A = this chain, B = another copy of it.
Amino acid sequence: MAEEDPVATFQSYLDISPFQRWLAIKAEEVGEGHLVTSIEWKEEFVSNPHTNSMHGGILASLIDLGGLYAVLSTKSVATATVDLRVDYHRPVSSGRIRATSSIVKLGSKVSTAETRITNAEGKLVASGRGVYLMA
């Protein structure tokens, strides 16, 4: 019997969430405590049509969920985000962006994960951390 493809498995986990389906998040890579996701530019993500820049809330969403699923990739169960911190480095105005998430510290009560988001040219556009409550 075939082993399940972890990327397909995580894609199905991500797609459970209606908001994540709306974002059209794609699982790209999955390792233990490590996850890469991506989203494609959508007009509905725009914050300011004059500068055509992506809303900070979209980038914050990727950091929140990226960290949570990075915890899940260790087979640990996180039940909620305790807090989230996002640093915005450059505006995003087009193309696919990739979020690379990894565990900073896996704990029994809370865990910390960080995510770096790069644009189509590989430049860092936002980064940050979430702390998650463990089951």
A contacts, CB < 8 Å to B: 16-20, 22, 43-49, 55-58, 60-62, 64-65, 80-91, 104-105, 107, 109-110, 112, 124, 127-129, 131, 133
Q: In the complex the two chains form, is A61's CB within 8 Å of B56's CB?
A: yes
Question: What is the copy number of this chain in the assembly?
Answer: 4
Cβ contacts under 8 Å, A88 to chain B:
80-84
CA distance A16 to B46 in the complex (A): 9
A40 CB, min distance to chain B CBs, angstroms: 15
Q: Among B18, B58, B109, B127, point to the contact of A45 (Cβ < 8 A).
A: B18
Cβ contacts under 8 Å, A56 to chain B:
61, 64-65, 81, 84
Q: In the complex the two chains form, is B19's CB within 8 Å of A57's CB?
A: yes
A42 CB, min distance to chain B CBs, angstroms: 9
Q: Among B44, B45, B133, point to the contact of A110 (Cβ < 8 A).
A: B133
Residue of B nearest to A85 (CB): B85
Cβ contacts under 8 Å, A81 to chain B:
56, 88
Q: Which 9 A-B pairs have the closest CB atoms?
A: A57-B61, A60-B60, A19-B55, A89-B105, A56-B64, A84-B86, A18-B46, A83-B87, A56-B81
